[in-house]
Amino acid sequence: MTSFNTPFEIHVHGEVSLRDDVDFKALQEAVKPLWKYAGARSLTDGAQSLYEEESGIHFEATEHKLKMCWTVRGSDDFRQVLDDLCMNVNEISAAGAQLEVTFYDTEFDDDDEARGTESRDDFVILFVGPDPAAIMQAQRDLLVQDVIGLMERHFDGSELSGVVHEIDKLFSDRFDNLVSSLELGKPPRGGSGGPQGGHGGGRRPRHLH
């Protein structure tokens, strides 16, 4: 990243449970797209946020989690960094999680607002996890939280079990469709008729009951 075109302050926030075998070295490699973008040579050098009050990129050894509350100056090319980050974190995660990324337009000011110009602020939620089921679980949990939070303004929480059931059904159908598409890509069964090996998405997301 060059320092000449940085129209955004970009904030990355989230926490990810890590596999038991993941150590600091593996974590440093996984989040390399972030600290490298910041111009650092290591996670130790690049973990600090633009703002001192933010905790930055942190390996929480006790809980064995990656925790991020980290801001960097950048541009739209940071979106490619996010793609690389998610692929890397998938490899070290133990459960599904969400990452929240906010782009603040630092070049937008009161004059722009007065002229009716729109800010380039943006907010993105990304999901990571060790397999498709874990990622879908994180998506499902966030959707249930948002829907219940909205509907509790009008209904008692005890009345909303049917809504949760329908959300679960939607994600169950999506998961089944994913499994079917992966099954189509498998080689045909051998003549022995024995069982075939599973794939990474074979675990169904859990549902509320």
With 0-12 / 13-18 / 19 or more C-beta atoms within 10 angstroms meaning exposed / middle / buried, residue 58 is: middle
Higher pLDDT, 162 or 112: 162
Number of residues that make up the chain = 209
3-state secondary structure (DSSP) of residue 92: helix
Rg (CA), the chain: 21
- 108, 119 Cβ separation under 8 angstroms: yes
pLDDT band at residue 49 using 50, 70 and 90 as cut-offs: very high
What tokens appear for 126 in the block? 């990304």
Query: Which of the four pLDDT bands, split at 50, 70 and 90, describes residue 170?
Result: confident
Q: Which is nearest to 99 in space by CA: 20, 207, 176, 14?
A: 14
14-24 per-position pLDDT tens digit = 999 999 999 99
* 206 and 137 Cβ atoms separated by less than 8 Å: yes
Q: What percent of the chain has pLDDT over 70?
A: 81
Predicted pLDDT of residue 198: 38
Pairing of strands 97-105, 65-74: unpaired
What six digits make up the tokens of 49?
């946020």
Its pTM stands at 0.77
3-state SS of 110-161? HHHHHCCCCCCCEEEEEEECCCHHHHHHHHHHHHHHHHHHHHCCCCCHHHCH
Average pLDDT over residues 67-96: 97
Nearest CA to 100 out of 31, 13, 10 is that of: 13
Q: Which of 4-8, 110-114, 143-147, 176-180 has the highest mean pLDDT?
A: 143-147
- Domains of the chain, by residue range, sit at 8-109+119-130, 137-184
Query: What are the b/e assignments for 77-112, b being 16+ CB within 10 Å?
Result: ebeebbebbbebbbebbbbbbbbebebbeeeeeeee
